[in-house]
Amino acid sequence: MRGVRRFLEARPKNESFAQLHDSITADYNVSHGNKWLQVIDEHGNWLYRSPHVPAVYSTLVLPQQAPREGRYFTYVTESIHVRALIEPITVHGVAYTVQTGLTLDKTLGILTDLRAQLSVLTVIGLALSSLAGYFMSGKALSPIAAIAAEAQRINERNLNCRMPELNTRDELASLSATLNQMLARIEAGYRAVRSFTANAAHELSTPVALLQAEAEVAVAFPRDAEYYRATCDHVLKNSARMGRLIGQLLALARVDAGVQSVRFEILNLTDLLQETASEWSTRFADAGIEFTCRIGSTELWTEADYLALKRLFCILLENAWRYTPSGQSVELSLHECGRESDPSHVEVRVSDTGIGISPEDRIRIFERFYRAASPLRGDFAGSGLGLAMAQWIAKRHNTKIDLRSALGKGSSFRVRFARIFARDTASGDHSFHIGSIGQDRIPTA
């Protein structure tokens, strides 16, 4: 379009229409003969027409009728696509309508080839991506399949097996590690149950066997009254042993099941210790053990379960009674800890000068059914459940049992409690300490 304008502007102004027609025909038939070009002036005279255009466009709008901004359009002739433009121009005072266009066949051919190539490439890409996705998904899911297969293989007979360890550092590796931790806890719990059952059966089998043997011997032949009396005494002792053992087993079973509860109340720790000491003083005297009780007269109130706490102190005293030789000493004492002006805790100590505990046994002394050494006295060797129960009671009171012992020099078990209220019964003085409970629950003087 610009070329036609420049051509007309370059021609003389006084040139006739015939000369102008001949000039543009001679020039454009050589350079643009195969293009889609035709020019008409404002009088309807054809200035130039490409040879193949008239068959398609026999008429062309005059300049005064053509849109001033020009108009683009596309048409098809003999299977040839043409993108055309009609625009009016004015040169040397004469208006012309110029129609020109370019064939789109080459462009459409390129697009057609591109469409075909894209179709082929799409099919190939889909096939390759499907294969790659299949192998990648198989590789990604293979750890899951391995974990599932291993999980199906694990049962109660091979709880020591673990999930495969993954080095991928992703969610699957975290899942595998979590499952292994869960299996470790399950295995520990299962072994604890099996060990508990086996030890309980073993502990119960001995008194049952003794009862059966005593009864069989007693009924085998006629006996005198004294013999039957002794047999009944042995049966009673073994029955008492079984009763204590069954009670401990039931208590530990309730602890494991989470149904063993403690009832906290405000109690006078001094009275509880004095009551416990009076119950054990006769047993220590009969065993030839010097028993000392250093508690004092100060009322020390704390929040605890009365029966559970008394059971804890009885277990510690019984342990000292069993493993302290005659002629040695056992001491039950109560100490206030913290600042001297305002002690905040009280510590109960059960100390003895008995056989002591070796360092190897010290780390296992609170395990169930574990017995460090044979006791020096008692009707039987004990079940090894007492200290385990005592440790559980201490934990429920938010404390623990501290053991200090040396082989051949005795042992000292210490339990610390928070002091809430204290009163000296001799002087009537009071001291207060607000612990874990409210002041309104402190008993009045």
Q: What's the pLDDT band for 260 if we cut at 50, 70, 90?
A: low
DSSP secondary structure string for all residues of 194-236: HHHHHHHHHHHHHHHHHHHHHHHHHHHS---HHHHHHHHHHHH
Q: What is the pLDDT of residue 98?
A: 92
DSSP secondary structure string for all residues of 396-419: HTT--EEEEEETTTEEEEEEEEE-
Residue, of 224 and 339, whose pLDDT is higher: 224
User: Structural domains in the chain?
Assistant: 2-103 (3.30.450), 171-257 (1.10.287.130), 265-441 (3.30.565.10)
Question: What does the chain come to in residues?
Answer: 445
> Which class for 63: exposed (0-12), middle (13-18), buried (19 or more C-beta within 10 A)?
buried
Q: What is the pLDDT of residues 245-255, one digit of tens each?
A: 777 677 767 66
The fraction of the chain above a pLDDT of 90, given in percent, is: 16
Q: What is the pLDDT of residues 367-387, one digit of tens each?
A: 877 777 667 665 555 567 788
Query: Rounded to 5 degrees, what are φ and ψ at 428?
Result: 80, 0
The mean pLDDT of 71-90, rounded to a whole number, is 84
The mean pLDDT of 66-89, rounded to a whole number, is 84
Q: What is the pLDDT of residue 1?
A: 85
The mean pLDDT of 276-284, rounded to a whole number, is 91
**pTM for the whole structure:** 0.50
Average confidence score pLDDT of the chain: 80
pLDDT exceeds cutoff 50 at 23: yes
pLDDT exceeds cutoff 50 at 436: no
Q: What is the pLDDT of residues 87-98, one digit of tens each?
A: 999 998 899 999
DSSP secondary structure string for all residues of 149-208: HHHHH--TT-TT--PPP--S-SHHHHHHHHHHHHHHHHHHHHHHHHHHHHHHHHHHHHHH
pLDDT exceeds cutoff 90 at 79: no
Judged by average pLDDT, the poorest of 262-266, 333-337, 427-431 is: 427-431
Q: What is the pLDDT of residue 27?
A: 84
pLDDT exceeds cutoff 70 at 174: yes
Say which DSSP state 378 is in.
S
Q: What is the pLDDT of residue 358?
A: 85
How far apart CA 329 and CA 326 sit, in angstroms, is 8
How far apart CA 402 and CA 39 sit, in angstroms, is 114
> Which class for 210: exposed (0-12), middle (13-18), buried (19 or more C-beta within 10 A)?
middle
Q: What's the pLDDT band for 203 if we cut at 50, 70, 90?
A: low
Token output for 246 = 């069954």
Strands (DSSP E) along 305-440, which ranges? 329-338, 343-352, 401-406, 410-418, 421-424, 430-432
The mean pLDDT of 347-362, rounded to a whole number, is 88
pLDDT exceeds cutoff 70 at 336: yes
> Which class for 312: exposed (0-12), middle (13-18), buried (19 or more C-beta within 10 A)?
buried
The mean pLDDT of 434-445, rounded to a whole number, is 35
Which alpha helices (DSSP H) does 71-170 contain, by range?
Answer: 105-153
- CB hemisphere CA count around 155 (13 angstroms): 3
The mean pLDDT of 209-214, rounded to a whole number, is 77
Q: What's the pLDDT band for 127 if we cut at 50, 70, 90?
A: very high
The mean pLDDT of 15-29, rounded to a whole number, is 86
Three-state SS for 346?
Answer: strand
pLDDT exceeds cutoff 70 at 4: yes
How far apart CA 178 and CA 184 sit, in angstroms, is 10
Q: What is the pLDDT of residue 440?
A: 34
